[in-house]
Amino acid sequence: MSGQDLIVIGAGSAGLSVASGAVQMGLRVVLIEGRVMGGDCLNHGCVPSKALIAAASAAHAMRTADRFGIRAVEPVIDFPAVMAHVAGIIAEIAPHDSQERFEGLGVRVIRGMARFTGPDEVTVNGERLKARRIVIATGSRPLIPQIPGLADVPYLTNESVFDLRALPGHLLVLGGGPIGVEMAQAFRRLGAAVTLVEAGSILGHDDPEAVDILRTTLGRDGVVLREQARVEAAGQDGSGVWLSVGGERIAGSHLLVATGRRAGVSSLDLDQAGVEGDEGGIRVNAALRTTNRKVFAIGDVAAGLPRFTHVAGYHAGIVIRQAVLGLPAKADHATIPRVTYTAPELAQIGMTETEAREALNSVETVRKAFAENDRARTARETEGWLKLVLHRGRPVGVTIVGPHAGELLAPWSLAMSSGTRLSRIAGLVLPYPTLSEVAKSAAGTYLSPKLFGNPWVERFARLVQRVVP
């Protein structure tokens, strides 16, 4: 049995970040991956989906060019070429996450499925490995609902949809979370008929007013939304697949299941290490330690925590501080940003207005519409707004629905994590015209009544005029 300083199980975003940081600080590191290097984000998630969305946006720009005085045309979609573009982007990024790169850094990479055989040891490919610390970073997998007949239907998930080389004639999307909504709009803009079926409301965790804007855009694009629609059965026939909703059959050529995620723990034998967890995730404390103090769980596999690639990278830093440097560290998820990459984008940090009003006794909001922003006007992208949610003059949440909302969240991420006062944001000197002025404008709108029209300020100003030469 070989001894190591650190064993990392899973070579996705979380595991790769821990392994690279630890080995460059002098630790002996083993990285175990049973599937593909780069994990879900590179191969089945963030990277391919955004590449597909970029292609869909180009097609949409051609259809809507007449708003700029340019003749609009219906684009000719070469779907195999679109998917070759997606595969090409993955291939461009893959070397950064490759086995060769990590072995070049000094990491021992083992390709195989690891399982625990003790509190500080795992077995992979018949070899037993022991380490002072072990990090579980096995990510998540698509959660398939228990719907009668679904198991017999050739459905797609995010792990297989990017393997398509022929455009679906009619794509049924089951699930109205970020993945389902993003893919519904992208495939519709690429020419497929699309029906999205959701048991509740689409994007149910987001600001309902922001979702209403996106719902309108999806309808304008031609996506058929079936919300509050519980699927009773699924099946296939000679012409494709179908879902039964309220006794009605909704037929399509393909079915994409996007109903959530489950933790990747099924083959780990967690009980052998004294680690508590199931498909809902591995139980961790604020330091991301499991019920076995020698074992950490980070990224999507950790129970109850946000499942985003940027959170996985953040978790990696928390573990490195503890396992490598011996420093105390705890994860704080209060200001984790999230973005749904539709058009318009929907970005959120902190609490939504609804969450804030439920949790706090005094809440104010400021809304600035993109229709008031000159850069948005020039691009004719004026749909949407920024909503600033405040408690006692401090921002506790920001919702942005509109063009490049994810990029516009950056200053609020800094402000909320560092406690920056609104006056600092209102006093920024920004280039004109830019979309980022919407943040400055929102801060200024909140502060203006406290300065202009304030009788105390007016009295002080008059005093200054009398006494200052």
Annotated binding-site residues for FAD read 50, 138-140, 300
CB 182 within 8 A of CB 340: yes
Q: Hunting for tokens 């398939």 — which residue is that?
A: 144
5's CB contacts (< 8 A; 6+ apart) are 22, 27, 28, 29, 131, 132, 133
134's CB contacts (< 8 A; 6+ apart) are 6, 7, 8, 9, 120, 122, 273, 294, 295, 296
For the record, the structure tokens of 221 come out as 């694009």
CB 268 within 8 A of CB 136: yes
How far is it, in rounded angstroms, from Cα 143 to Cα 464? 67
Cα–Cα nearest to 85, from 47, 51, 125:
51
Angle between helices 178-189 and 208-221 (to 10 degrees): 30
Please give the angle made by the CA atoms of 334, 336 and 339, to the nearest 5 degrees. 140
DSSP assignment of 68-92? GTS--------HHHHHHHHHHHHHH
Q: Hunting for tokens 């399509």 — which residue is that?
A: 252
How far is it, in rounded angstroms, from Cα 360 to Cα 237? 53
How far is it, in rounded angstroms, from Cα 43 to Cα 40? 5
Phi, then psi, of 40 in degrees rounded to 5: -65, -40
- Helix residue ranges, H only, 75-177: 79-93, 99-105
Angle between helices 46-63 and 178-189 (to 10 degrees): 40
The CA-to-CA distance between both ends of the chain, in Å, stands at 85
Give the residue numbers of the binding site: 50, 138-140, 175-182, 198, 260, 300
DSSP bridge partners of 263: 140
CB 231 within 8 A of CB 245: yes
Sheet holding 394-402, edge to edge: 338-340, 345-350, 394-402, 385-391, 364-369
- Rg, Å, the chain Cα set: 25
Give the residue numbers of the binding site for NAD(+): 175-182, 198, 260
Numbers of helices and strands, H then E, in the chain: 15, 23
